[in-house]
Structure 1
């Protein structure tokens, strides 16, 4: 079995789910366990590495050439999504995939089917790693971690590969939008970097959503329903009113490409109080601002209708489209493109309908486009990854290192 697969299977056994309701850094202490393990492994390769009290892992492989070569960094995140459990992950192998349905769990009748996910057919004949239907897989982003670690291990074992300084970074809490909050760019020391956090085989991404999160608290007035006329304010009903004011077609399930959306990710309610959580996304900065304004205006409308502040809202920006910063250092994308071609991969240059740590890092002065991991259907029980894609991702990382030497 290839080293990258062995590493991946080891890393997914660590439960590193982050928690957006936590105020600690990292949001969950269990992320530190994986971070500490990665530091041990890097040191075992002879690489200087440490983990700080906030959970950021950084390692450095010194240049082995006297030529002036840019310091290049590779970054992945350790946490998995709060959307589904990452505890007791039990990966399953499907060798020589035949293009038919894959039964993930007979007991629960959970099936991964090309009828629902037609892109599966492009992996016919390949080996796939899937979930067992009870957890997510964790390829986002433990596949990226495994690919970086394997590439670095290979470079260390092959000193004939001449390179500049290589910087390795693993972050906590990316899935809850905090991955770059305490990332020390100066300490990291890279001139350019790449997140290995993309999905489909061959993806190369240098633009992403502008992103914000919105939290709403709706205050009701609970009165016995037998005498509630003109007295009760049912916060659940108010929530429905508010939701009806947002464009029904601007949701993830009805958008694609460069189209933005409003996405409700949590709803918890009773007559007395209801809490809503939304994420707001758009590639266009203008449309992004318009979406936030529309949501604020909807709150204002409802509050004016009831004559009181029945809804409180808090909107916070999370990250911005990296394109304007990447365009200033276009060569970082060009080198990644060449690295993929060198690995006989057709690059799929496309926008990220999401975000990565690289988006914020690019605005912090470190141009950081995003490379594929090979994973598909992140954040849920239908997640899977073709093993060949992971092996190719390792090759691309090594090629990038070599190309900077040649630049």
Structure 2
């Protein structure tokens, strides 16, 4: 199918990562930053240039488009989804992508900051990439492969089908979302307008990776209330909320239940933001585990530790708020086994060994699955996300394009 096809994914990716689309967790707008629409508008124009007439960007920063069916069969409508935003963890302004052709297997020194060195020792997946073309940033920014690799893969898939109209497939929907990195990726997605029955996000890492399981996640906000007093006359009056919050954090487990001490299927309790003054401090946590019921255990642990801390500071008070964020997609996907079976077959048809993985995080697919759109996650090649060592293999992205083309064809064949 791809013998005479010239992939466009590399050129698209290089173009997309140079557009700053960083999201902002402190913003209350949707999208959280208007600059995300700069890339989305470009995507709409490129889709229209392919002949996809209904491609459009809505006011909330979502791109919708339809690749029309080329078969007379009744085929379930599938959707491919990626997010345009990049993480707030590291700047995405002024990204200068570099292509390291025929990678030699050694260290990659990033020229704009030679202290930034991507090594196979720190990034073992690089050991499999010798001879491939590796794209990195220049050393002062992230790259944006998470998830512009996914965006570029979907765009190349669209280009493939629009230039190979004889290949039979059902209706394919495209959805590009904003604000995934701050947990709001599908807050305002219009699934009725989208009109898909099943979906796949393109937001996983190494070649062949297939994720049908994610963490379940809650957010916890603890607000500490102290007692304000003039510091010159504060004896037996002042209760400093900052000291209460600090004592609470210090009492948390040191060797377990944190991201830095857990891996594989172990969950965690993770403070992510603190803000305040002596009178009032707000502390935000994320709670994660593959087993949804364990979230309550972790939250109760925090409640117990909070009660013990408050006993040490008479006069201090606290509010405890829990917000559901997303749930393990496997709870939904197990009810639709064909979604996984077809994806695994597509990976095999692309000539790629399957790697079944559980994501220690969430994707747009986590929430889409519980919104009625079963949605596992497929590989793009993006690696070392959210930092200056982020990289992606061109050949991995090309295999991802092949995979989702095969996947659309499999849905048609099986219908």
Structure-2-length-normalised TM-score? 0.93
* 2:333 alignment counterpart: 326
Distance across 1 between alignment mates of 2:316 and 2:287: 22
Residue 325 of structure 1 contacts residue 367 of structure 1 at CA under 8 Å; is this kept in 2? yes
Write out aligned runs for 1:4-403 (5 A).
Answer: 4-47=9-52, 48-105=54-111, 107=113, 109-221=115-227, 230-248=236-254, 249-268=256-275, 270-403=277-410
Residue 150 of structure 2 contacts residue 203 of structure 2 at CA under 8 Å; is this kept in 1? yes
Query: Alpha-carbon deviations, 1:243-274, whole Å to 9, x = none?
Result: 13333211112211111011222334554544
Distance across 2 between alignment mates of 1:361 and 1:87: 29
Query: Alpha-carbon deviations, 1:64-99, whole Å to 9, x = none?
Result: 111111111100011111111111111122222223
Distance across 2 between alignment mates of 1:373 and 1:234: 49
Distance across 1 between alignment mates of 2:200 and 2:358: 15
Distance across 2 between alignment mates of 1:33 and 1:266: 29
Distance across 2 between alignment mates of 1:351 and 1:73: 21
Residue 63 of structure 2 contacts residue 177 of structure 2 at CA under 8 Å; is this kept in 1? yes
Shift of 1:219: 3.8
Q: Which runs of 5+ in 2 are unaligned?
A: 1-5
* 2:3 alignment counterpart: none
Shift of 1:226: 7.3
Shift of 1:221: 4.9
Shift of 1:304: 3.9
248-257 or 391-400: which moved more?
A: 248-257
Query: Alpha-carbon deviations, 1:161-187, whole Å to 9, x = none?
Result: 111111000011111111111111121
CA pair 140-90 structure 1, distance change in 2 beyond 3 A:
same
Name the SS for the 1:44 alignment partner.
helix
Distance across 2 between alignment mates of 1:50 and 1:308: 56
Shift of 1:234: 3.6
Residue 49 of structure 1 contacts residue 59 of structure 1 at CA under 8 Å; is this kept in 2? yes
Name the SS for the 2:55 alignment partner.
strand
Shift of 1:223: 6.0
Q: Which runs of 5+ in 1 are unaligned?
A: none
Matched residue pairs, number? 407
CA pair 218-108 structure 1, distance change in 2 beyond 3 A:
farther
State the Cα RMSD in Å. Answer: 2.0
Shift of 1:120: 2.1
Distance across 1 between alignment mates of 2:142 and 2:258: 23
Residue 241 of structure 2 contacts residue 277 of structure 2 at CA under 8 Å; is this kept in 1? yes
Name the SS for the 1:321 alignment partner.
coil
Residue 105 of structure 1 contacts residue 111 of structure 1 at CA under 8 Å; is this kept in 2? no
Shift of 1:145: 0.5
Distance across 1 between alignment mates of 2:315 and 2:85: 40
Shift of 1:314: 2.8
